[in-house]
């Protein structure tokens, strides 16, 4: 029951779904890139990522002073994998998702503008 509640809580916020879509097919992204994408305060993005981690939807790793996140596909329970696939299929063509994809491409194409490049 707790796993189900964590997943539904994680999927109940637009910004967390936007994070999942950004990570889909991208490997990993630095928190600073997600901050640039979402245009939210670092503490807000970190809180969203904590909720996604608690639901086991994302995996994080620290490198130096930066945190990198990716979708969690390693040994995840079927419920988690199914939830991720359903979310991505359901909202991939949403105008916000399309706009985010273009914005993320711009963020990634200019690594010098990224906070984690310094």
CA dihedral angle for residue 35, residue 40, residue 55, residue 77, rounded to 10 degrees: -40
Question: Which of 45-59, 61-75, 81-95 shows the highest mean pLDDT?
Answer: 45-59
Strand order in the sheet with 66-71: 28-30, 66-71, 58-63
Q: Please report the domains of the chain, with CATH numbers, ordered by start residue.
A: 2-110 (1.10.10.10)
> What does the pLDDT look like over 99-115, one tens digit per residue?
999 999 998 887 665 56
Cα separation, 26 vs 109, in Å, equals 13
> What does the pLDDT look like over 1-15, one tens digit per residue?
777 888 888 989 999
């Amino acid at each position: 029951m707790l796993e189900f509640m964590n997943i539904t809580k994680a999927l109940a916020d637009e910004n967390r779904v936007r994070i999942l879509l950004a990570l889909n097919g991208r490997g990993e992204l630095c928190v600073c890139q997600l901050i640039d994408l979402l245009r939210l305060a670092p503490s807000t993005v970190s809180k969203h990522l904590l909720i996604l981690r608690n639901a086991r939807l994302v995996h994080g790793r620290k490198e130096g002073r930066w945190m990198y996140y990716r979708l969690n596909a390693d040994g995840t329970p079927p419920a988690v994998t199914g939830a991720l696939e359903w979310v991505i299929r359901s909202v991939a063509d949403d105008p916000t998702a399309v706009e985010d994809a273009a914005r993320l491409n711009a963020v990634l194409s200019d690594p010098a503008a990224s906070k984690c490049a310094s």
